[in-house]
Amino acid sequence: MPVLGLPLLLVGLVGLPMVAGIYWLRTRFRRQEVSTLFLWRATLDAQGGGRKKSRLQTPLALLLELLAILLLVLAATSPRVLRAGYTAAVVVVLDDSYSMNAVDPEGESARQRAVAALEDELKSLRQYSVRLIAAGSQPRVLGEPMDRWAEVEAALEGWGCESSSADLTGAIALAGEIGDPRSRLLVLSDHPIPDALREPAEGGEAADETSAEDTDSSWGRLRWVSVGKALPNVALTNAVRSPDAAQGDKVLLEIANHSLVPVRQTLTLAVGASDLVYEAEPQAPAVGSEPTVIDQRAIELAAGETTRLWLSPVGAEGRPLIASLGDDALMQDNRVVLMPPERRLLPVSVDLSDAELNRSVTQAVRASNRAVLASERALLRITDTAAAPDEAPLAGTIPTWTVLFDTGSAEDGAEPQAFLGPFVIDFAHPVAEGLSLNGLVWAVPGNASEEQATPPGRPVVTAGNVVLLSDDERPDGTHQLTWRLRPDRSTVLQSAALPILVWNMIEMRQAERPGLSPVNARPGVPVSIVTRSSRGEVQVERIEAYASQETAAETLPVRERRATFIPDQPGVYEVVAGEQRHRFAVNAGSLAESDLRAAIEDGFGEWDDDLAVVREYRGLAWALGLLVLGVLILHAWWFARHQGGGVFSRSSSATVAGVEVAA
């Protein structure tokens, strides 16, 4: 904030040399009194102006006049000083997206330019209290209020610029919550200010008509500094790895050329150590240490082109896959890590007395490619016998789940009840995902008691008030899915509904097995962690980052054998749950952040407004005005005391040849 409100009025200081010149050019004389002046009139007309410079005389009148002019000019410039004890409150929103790490040809990143701009802004405020907000996918506050640049520098170490998106609008809203209405708001980003924020900040005629109190809002205190530069960039914007029973893993890579010219890049595929899941202390090296190159190929892209590659890497089964491009302006989008997808098959036992039903269900289990038939230690039992076999559950896991078919008894001779679809389906239940029963005949046993006709648990499929399929969750965490069906009177077995229901039941049970899902995630996507114990804690730590920023391990509570972790930064994470360890990867692929062509270096908004002057500074014009008044009073007193003579005496006089002749 400048000290002078109207510095252009300093032009009034030209009055100082003008007054001094009047005294400088004034002719010197000796005073001589005579009786009359008519004898000296011609000489008076000739020499009244004076043509010779004389030595400057500085009587008190000159000094007072110069001082009065100086004080008047200073008062007109509206000088001000910072109010005693006033501290400017500043909330800074920092763009935490990885595009801020883009490096220009001079080797300077947008983040470095943002830090320099922040330092300049804060040093211009002299006294300040600043809060920092990192605007990633989820805005977060960096530290407590700070009033020294050394503290701000230390807090900026937590600003790594690794998020795949920047919620600047949400961060500005958070800034309004943690700051007071008078706080200054500074946004540092590599993107221009959005139009939605520009229009309220500019105001318009409506804003001009509001009072000072009405305009005291965050919009009027917003300053947006863009520190980006338009740079060419080639990026890996998407990566997917899925299991394929026939050809191993299938990998999809999406590569985009965000530049105005064709480019040629090299794509390298490498594999890391096989240490996705292990017990006790790990002996294998980190995922990114000493990778083994298994494929390398040249990629040619036209200007602005995006291409997708389907690959079947050989030798990557069960090992982390690392795909990378050559170096360019932005390094964060040149590398992705893909963990091997889960290949655990669910042990399922099928034991149904009805031969046709047993054959159909067995075929559906085999066709899923997600289960294996097992006669012992099955995690999912499909049976029509209510009593569970006397066998111990699989060590370290919850007991076996059961799918109980209620087919009735053919010897009773009771007529079954048949219903024609569509039926009422609870699509919020995982077993009903993708299920369609339109036009199917679903028959239930007709000799069921009231207790059998209404199986316990949550109804999944119903025909009116008749429950056809239900899910009963037991206190120990197991589930029993009761399926009331007469296969000989139904068309469900001959439709796609049977394999869909079997697939969903297998997937539902697989989701409850200890482990995590997904193993390859994006920032902001929840990662579900299933543990062996129903209570306790798990630790999540990022063991490999794409930047040098260190992160501490995070402890998550376990409730009903589940914990959820939402990563906000890319890298490789390790989950420690008791004796078991798991790893998953988070890759920051974003078309918007990798495209640097829209980045600019600009600024919008000012802090030096009239409202800030009134609130933060004290004007000194009134004090200077009082001093001018005192000087003028002293000047008048001096002239009154020297009324009979002096420089501008009122007596009739003339000057001739350096002699003042007075009548």
CATH of the domain at 193: 3.40.50.410
| pLDDT band, residue 542 (cuts 50/70/90) | confident
Asked if 353 and 484 sit in the same domain, the reply is yes
- Is residue 570 included in any domain, yes or no? no
pLDDT of residue 70: 83
Higher pLDDT, 653 or 174: 174
Do 252 and 127 lie in a common domain? no
State residue 507 phi and psi, 5-degree precision. Answer: -65, -40
User: How many angstroms separate the CA atoms of 241 and 510, rounded?
Assistant: 19
Q: Residue 547: inside a domain, yes or no?
A: no
Does the pLDDT value for residue 660 go beyond 90?
no
39/50 Cα distance (integer angstroms): 19
pLDDT at 456 over 50: yes
Q: Do 153 and 60 have their domain in common? A: no
Kindly state whether residues 419 and 472 are assigned to the same domain: yes
Same domain, 603 and 657: no
In this predicted structure, what is the pLDDT of residue 214? 40
Do residue 238 and residue 335 come from a single domain? yes
> Are 319 and 373 part of one and the same domain?
no
Establish if 562 belongs to a structural domain.
no
- Kindly state whether residue 563 falls inside one of the protein's structural domains: no
**What is the per-residue pLDDT for 480?**
92
Poorest-pLDDT segment among 265-274, 512-521, 538-547? 538-547
Number of H helices, E strands in the chain: 15, 37
What is each CA distance from 585 to 241, 386, 547, 582, in whole angstroms?
A: 11, 43, 15, 11
Indicate whether 238 and 362 sit together in one domain: no
Please tell me the distance from the alpha carbon of residue 137 to that of residue 524, in angstroms, as a whole number. Answer: 7
| Domain end among 511, 530, 565 | 511
Instruction: Give domain status of residue 477, yes or no.
Output: yes
The string of pLDDT tens digits covering residues 505-520 is 999 998 888 888 888 9
Task: Give residue 611's pLDDT.
Answer: 58
Residues 567-597: pLDDT tens digits?
888 889 999 888 788 889 998 888 888 999 8
**pLDDT value at position 446?**
76
543 belongs to a structural domain: no
Last residue of a domain, one of 511, 530, 548: 511
Element housing 425 (H / E): strand 424-425
Same domain, 292 and 282: yes
**Report field, pTM of the whole predicted structure over 0.85:** no
Q: Is 290 helix (H, G, I), strand (E, B) or coil?
A: coil
Q: Which letter, b or e, does each residue of 302-320 get, where b requires 16 or more Cβ atoms within 10 Å of its Cβ?
A: eeeeeeeeebebeebeebb
Mean pLDDT within 602-618: 67
Domain assignment present for 223: yes
DSSP track, 356-405: HHHHHHHHHHHHTSSEEE-SSS-SEEEES-SSPPS-PPPTTSPPPEEEEE
CATH of the domain at 251: 2.60.40.10
Same domain, residue pair 284 and 337: yes
pLDDT tens-digit map of 404-443:
998 876 555 567 888 998 999 999 999 999 999 999 999 9
Average pLDDT of every residue of the chain = 79
The DSSP code for 3 is S
Are residues 220 and 118 both part of a single domain?
Answer: yes
Task: Tell whether 374 is covered by a domain.
Answer: yes
Q: Is the preceding peptide bond at 79 cis, omega within 30 degrees of 0?
A: no
CB 314 within 8 A of CB 248: yes
Tens digits of residue pLDDT in 129-154: 899 999 988 899 998 999 899 999 99
Dump pLDDT digits (tens) for 36-91.
666 666 554 544 445 555 555 557 777 887 888 888 888 777 777 766 666 788 99
CATH code, domain with 476: 3.40.50
Count: domains in the chain? 4
Which one of 486, 511, 536 terminates a domain?
511
Residue 163's pLDDT band, with cuts at 50, 70 and 90, is confident
208 and 145 together in one domain? yes
Peptide bond into 422 cis (omega under 30): yes
Backbone angles phi, psi at 129, to 5 degrees: -130, 115
Average pLDDT of span 240-250: 77
For residues 26 and 272, which has the higher predicted lDDT (pLDDT)?
Answer: 272
pLDDT in tens, 338-359: 998 877 788 999 999 989 999 9
Q: Which domain holds residue 378?
A: 346-511
